[in-house]
Structure 1
Amino acid sequence: MSIATHRQRSVFSKNIATFRQDPMLLFTLLIVGFLLVVFILFPLFKVLTLSVTGSGTFSLSEFRYIFEQWWLRQTFFNSMLLGVITATTSTIIGYIFAYAFARTSMRGRWFFRPLAMLPLVSPPFMFTLSVILLLGRNGLITRYLLGLRGFNIYGLKGLVLVQTIGMFPIAFMNLEGVLQSIGTDLEEAALDLGASRLAVFRNIVLPLSIPGITSSWLLIFVTSLADFANPLVLGGRFDVLSVQAYLQFTGMFNAPRGAALAVLLLFPSLIAFTLQRYLISRRSYVTVTGKPGHMRLRFVSRWLEWCLFAICLMVTGIILLFYLTVIAGAFVKKWGIDWSLSLEHWHYTWDVAFRSFAQTLQLAGIATPISALLGMLIAFLLVRKSFVGKSALGFTSMLSYAVPGTVVGIGYILAFNQPPLLLTGTGLILIICFVFRFMPVSVETGVSQLVQIDRSIEEASTNLGASTAYTFRSITMPLIKPAFIAGLSFAFTRCMTAISAIIFLVSGRWHHVTVLILSQTEIMNLGAASVISLVLVIVVLTGFGLIRLAVGDKNRRLSV
């Protein structure tokens, strides 16, 4: 006991000495910690509290009611089912793409990669719009090409389709890095010893890929659970937790039940996200061979390479078809009724959407740099500084990425609707939501970049008398510019295309373009929704170019 007490005192004394030597570090930690508690933990606490105190006293009656009513109970199982199916199909397709890029000399990479990544910068409804226009009750394929009258794309099958196409790039990016990290020497040795290519894949590549596959599956599972836009429009009678929580909270004005449903959505997401982070922290693909490795691309037979090519072509063909459908929908006068070309939807959109676009760009323009800079600052603290509570800071800063947007939106409404933090109805609450919702990616990219940079450069600055603030501004930030650009790009994309949280926070004074797309889709004004979606994609891609131009990045390769 005395040894443990002595160690605790030693650590405490060391931290006190560090803070005395660098008071700016203490001040920064206090400010960052305060912001994380107020804008991440406090909203979650309000949701949890309301779910068990809706009647004024502590009670689990809302949870009991949810599991007693089959239609509410079913939303939980529907969410789990959709998440499992989507995560499985997306991970399989993502692994096929990753293997084709990392282990073959497949032709057409210049075509497949940008199309495969395009869903990441698209509005949440874009593929749903395409599916309705192509496969809906009045769809071009179902009704006019196949003559199907009773076909119904709404429900589980439609959701699996749009979520898989929209989420498999997450697995692709993750698993391509995993496969590239696995040394090829073992595969080459096995091939030289007479093993078949299938045996090499089954006994070497696949086992080494399992942690990455599991991590990708869990990440997509969390993303599927958090998806709000697609189930709201395409779910039909297939209710899920994210949508039902929104309907209970805003449509039926039953805040305690909406909070309880949000809590049921929160816990599976947190468990899956925690497992995913644990797998990443333990993942290692190092092969020690004593000689430099090299990549030999003939790990698959010619016929298998053509099979991989065909699968990539089919998936990217579907993506391209979806985008072409939205473009066509923007110019067709009345889809399924009047196929003549018209600019009517563009004129209507100019009148209706101009203010929403202007305000969305204004909000994104403010929130994007703040989110990226705050993420870089937290990454710097986590990697370069030692202090009490570092693990808690790291966990809290990443927590908002695991929390579904529906939970965040409900939490912000509950937390900031009364003094001294009366923010509801203002643009500030949207900016704050954007900053802390999308900051974790900047933290993650910043940490990944910093661990690869020798800290002696920054230590030299400190030894020469520079403060932490000066070192971070003048030494660290220029070295982690690629991570900063990635954080800016991600934050800008999500600020422009998010909906699950901000649909609770928009007001008559402050609009968002994705909420406008939703409203146009709900009234089946699909032409206007197509125009807005198309313009939004163009704006996001233009924003990428401007970000790289402003920050001074000369690398033209798009990273999302």
Structure 2
Amino acid sequence: MAPTSPPPTMSKSDRRNNDVKQLLFTLRDPVLLVSVLSVLIVVVLFIIIPMVMILKESILGTGHFSLIAYLKIAKSSFDRGVIWDTIKLGITVAVLGTAVAFLFAYATIYLKIAHKPLFKVLSILPMISPPFVISLATILLFGRSGLISYNIFGVRNDIYGFWGLALTQVLSFFPVGYLMLTNLLQNIDPSIEEAAQALGASQRKVFLTVTLPLMLPGIANAALLIFIQSLADFGNAIVIGGNFTTLAVQIYQQGIGSYDMVGATALAVVLLMISMLAFYLQNSVVGKKSYITVTGKAAKQRVLIANKGVTIPVYTICMIISVFVIAMYILVPYGAFVTLWGVNYSFTLRWIKYVLTIGRRYIMDSLTLSLFAAPIAGLLGIVSAFLIVRKNFLGKRFMEASILMAIALPGTVLGLGYIYTYNTPPLILTGTSIILVVALVIRSMPVGTRSGIAALKQIDPSIEEAASICGAGSQKVFTSITVPLIRPVIFSSLVYAFIRGMTLVSTIIFLVSARWQMLTVAIMNQVDQGLYGAANAYCLVLIILVGLVMLVMSTLLKKMGVNINEGY
């Protein structure tokens, strides 16, 4: 029998004894020992040490202990402006993105309206597409040579800047809030709302006094997650930010462009502190509040709202946003076959040929590295979730905190940390495919861990305990009992890891080399040069590759009898 977690009232000596018991128990189970050590080594090498190295460089980069880099930030009106602009953008995107997410979630769960499947698809589409698609499409629609701004209205509009970036981030990140709020709305017991209506409350009163209060912690949770996503965003900011600079972009420009690595690491620490503070609020303050009704599960079928005073306005707003998103995703493939955007709209295969010849190595490198990283990320995510939920061992809290903290790590900060950590002996990995695979794994693994933890907590541990009592070891229990029970989560984690690998840009922008390149970096380079046709063609290829792999995996899973959308 595994040792139990120490109660909060346990004395120091008892805690010490319990730690010793946990360590001895771990040592007696070789499979458990190897699993724990493997995950801890990955966490320490590729999450903790890079963060420590960034902090070290920011205060010791001049050859001795100095806080001059932080003093420069405090004295620089430009740096203070960048920090404030980043926070201001994050707050704006969080508010607008959460509002859009709530409208879509409320429409699909509560209202009797048409085109719900369309709203659901469009709500998750930005999550599985390249990070540049929406910002690139926004430029093509509303830029200086935009299809709408110039060709229809004859205006040389400047979409670059705060509002252009805010628009693209809202459309890119609201699906995060949508998925969360949809689950919460589904779990509200409709009998509570019906009881309020039976007592004479109007639909508006029920919404304001029952539904909304139950949702407030969840809405705040979604807003904080979107805020964190906005802080860490590099792809949209570098493409459409223009003169509006965010911390993620400034770190890259100061480190790579100006070769001021001490200043870049200091800014990275500032961004990391803001992200960690937001993550702490989301995870510790808001995330632990209850936003579910008494039973936690709907006890009866919900009667959908058909009041036209509610359905028509909500449906209209959702449809306008949907049409806008559809236009963006149609525009990118169309732009791949246009000779010169804004000047010559004649059909051409020039950009497709360009991508399939000159850009073929970017495609193959991205596909190879993503396919290699996906199973590693999926395996590490599920194993770490199993260890955190089902096992007690020395260092468990450290493992859990470190992995979940990695969700909030901005990609530019992590990439910068890898440069400092693995560019010198004893472990030189920069310039190799290994460091790129590591980056892809670390950016995907925490999500798999979080999903695995949620799934395992809904499975009665007595099933696994029965197998252990019958003599099965940790490996046998995990492979024969646990894995079959959480197959949907395992495969959805694999799909997510592959998509993340194909679309990641912020971390790998520091790590690509002459030998190994990535498709997203190639897209960014084409946008920088103003070659929108080539950028569109790259995006089209990327969308097709992701779609094909998802289709193949979905077909295989159906043949295996696995539904990644089913409950755990």
Normalized against structure 2, the TM-score is what?
Answer: 0.95
2:203 is matched with which residue?
A: 197
Deviation at 1:465, TM superposition (A): 1.6
Deviation at 1:99, TM superposition (A): 0.8
The DSSP-based 3-state class of the residue aligned with 2:366 is helix
1:140 is matched with which residue?
A: 147
In structure 2, what residue type is equivalent to 1:387? F
Distance 1:105 1:31, change over 3 A: same
In structure 2, what residue type is equivalent to 1:446? G
Counterpart Cα distance in 2 of 1:404 and 1:16? 34
In structure 1, what residue type is equivalent to 2:161? G
Deviation at 1:9, TM superposition (A): 4.2
Question: Is the contact between residue 433 and residue 516 of structure 2 (CA under 8 Å) also seen in structure 1?
Answer: yes
Deviation at 1:558, TM superposition (A): 11
Deviation at 1:19, TM superposition (A): 2.5
Question: Is the contact between residue 445 and residue 486 of structure 1 (CA under 8 Å) also seen in structure 2?
Answer: no
Question: Is the contact between residue 368 and residue 491 of structure 1 (CA under 8 Å) also seen in structure 2?
Answer: yes
* Residues 385-404 of structure 1 aligned to structure 2 (within 5 Å): 385-404=391-410
Counterpart Cα distance in 1 of 2:26 and 2:320? 58
Range with greater deviation from structure 2 (444-453 or 548-557): 548-557
Question: Is the contact between residue 488 and residue 547 of structure 1 (CA under 8 Å) also seen in structure 2?
Answer: no
Question: Is the contact between residue 197 and residue 300 of structure 1 (CA under 8 Å) also seen in structure 2?
Answer: no
Counterpart Cα distance in 1 of 2:67 and 2:495? 42
2:563 is matched with which residue?
A: 555
Deviation at 1:347, TM superposition (A): 1.0
1:66 is matched with which residue?
A: 73
In structure 2, what residue type is equivalent to 1:541? G
Name stretches of at least 5 consecutive residues in structure 2 with no aligned partner.
1-8
Deviation at 1:511, TM superposition (A): 0.5
In structure 2, what residue type is equivalent to 1:68? K
1:325 is matched with which residue?
A: 331
Q: Structure 2 residue aligned with 1:95, among 92, 95, 102?
A: 102
Distance 1:166 1:9, change over 3 A: closer
2:3 is matched with which residue?
A: none
- Residues 12-68 of structure 1: CA distance to partner in whole angstroms, max 9, x if unpaired? 343145225423322321221122111100000001111111211111111111221
Counterpart Cα distance in 2 of 1:173 and 1:383? 24
* Residues 314-463 of structure 1 aligned to structure 2 (within 5 Å): 314-463=320-469
Counterpart Cα distance in 1 of 2:447 and 2:471? 32
Counterpart Cα distance in 2 of 1:425 and 1:298? 56
The DSSP-based 3-state class of the residue aligned with 2:339 is strand
Counterpart Cα distance in 2 of 1:69 and 1:379? 44
Deviation at 1:548, TM superposition (A): 3.1
Runs of 4+ aligned structure 1 residues displaced above 4 Å come to 556-559
Deviation at 1:453, TM superposition (A): 1.2
- Residues 122-176 of structure 1: CA distance to partner in whole angstroms, max 9, x if unpaired? 1111111111111111111111111113x21110010011111111111110101
1:230 is matched with which residue?
A: 236
For the pair 1:41 / 2:48, whether they are aligned, the reply is yes
- Residues 170-223 of structure 1: CA distance to partner in whole angstroms, max 9, x if unpaired? 111010111111111110001111101111111111111011101100000000
* Residues 74-153 of structure 1 aligned to structure 2 (within 5 Å): 74-149=81-156, 151-153=157-159
Counterpart Cα distance in 2 of 1:382 and 1:146? 58
Question: Is the contact between residue 247 and residue 271 of structure 2 (CA under 8 Å) also seen in structure 1?
Answer: yes
Counterpart Cα distance in 2 of 1:548 and 1:456? 31
* Residues 458-537 of structure 1 aligned to structure 2 (within 5 Å): 458-537=464-543
The DSSP-based 3-state class of the residue aligned with 1:145 is coil
Counterpart Cα distance in 2 of 1:520 and 1:71? 28
Range with greater deviation from structure 2 (386-395 or 491-500): 386-395
The DSSP-based 3-state class of the residue aligned with 2:150 is helix
Question: Is the contact between residue 445 and residue 483 of structure 1 (CA under 8 Å) also seen in structure 2?
Answer: yes
The DSSP-based 3-state class of the residue aligned with 1:418 is coil
Counterpart Cα distance in 1 of 2:435 and 2:27? 35
The DSSP-based 3-state class of the residue aligned with 1:379 is helix
Range with greater deviation from structure 2 (115-124 or 516-525): 115-124
* Residues 6-45 of structure 1 aligned to structure 2 (within 5 Å): 6-45=13-52
Question: Is the contact between residue 378 and residue 445 of structure 2 (CA under 8 Å) also seen in structure 1?
Answer: yes
For the pair 1:174 / 2:180, whether they are aligned, the reply is yes
In structure 2, what residue type is equivalent to 1:483? V
* Residues 266-305 of structure 1 aligned to structure 2 (within 5 Å): 266-278=272-284, 279-287=286-294, 293-299=299-305, 301-305=307-311
The DSSP-based 3-state class of the residue aligned with 2:345 is strand
For the pair 1:187 / 2:155, whether they are aligned, the reply is no
Question: Is the contact between residue 485 and residue 548 of structure 1 (CA under 8 Å) also seen in structure 2?
Answer: no
Range with greater deviation from structure 2 (386-395 or 159-168): 386-395
Identity score, percent: 38
In structure 2, what residue type is equivalent to 1:79? T
The DSSP-based 3-state class of the residue aligned with 1:340 is strand
1:245 is matched with which residue?
A: 251
The DSSP-based 3-state class of the residue aligned with 1:146 is coil
Counterpart Cα distance in 1 of 2:50 and 2:550? 31
Counterpart Cα distance in 2 of 1:442 and 1:288? 27
In structure 2, what residue type is equivalent to 1:77? W
Distance 1:14 1:432, change over 3 A: same
Counterpart Cα distance in 2 of 1:153 and 1:166? 17
Distance 1:16 1:333, change over 3 A: closer
Counterpart Cα distance in 1 of 2:213 and 2:461? 35
In structure 1, what residue type is equivalent to 2:480? S
Distance 1:245 1:469, change over 3 A: same
- Residues 237-256 of structure 1: CA distance to partner in whole angstroms, max 9, x if unpaired? 11111101001111111110
1:545 is matched with which residue?
A: 551
Aligned length, in residue pairs: 556
Question: Is the contact between residue 190 and residue 298 of structure 2 (CA under 8 Å) also seen in structure 1?
Answer: no
Range with greater deviation from structure 2 (16-25 or 253-262): 16-25
Q: Structure 1 residue aligned with 2:318, among 308, 312, 315?
A: 312
Range with greater deviation from structure 2 (304-313 or 18-27): 18-27
Range with greater deviation from structure 2 (534-543 or 87-96): 534-543
For the pair 1:259 / 2:228, whether they are aligned, the reply is no
Counterpart Cα distance in 2 of 1:280 and 1:170? 15
Deviation at 1:72, TM superposition (A): 1.8
Counterpart Cα distance in 2 of 1:534 and 1:554? 29
Deviation at 1:69, TM superposition (A): 1.6
Distance 1:6 1:64, change over 3 A: closer
Superposition CA RMSD, Å: 1.9
Question: Is the contact between residue 488 and residue 566 of structure 2 (CA under 8 Å) also seen in structure 1?
Answer: no
In structure 2, what residue type is equivalent to 1:409? G
For the pair 1:213 / 2:219, whether they are aligned, the reply is yes
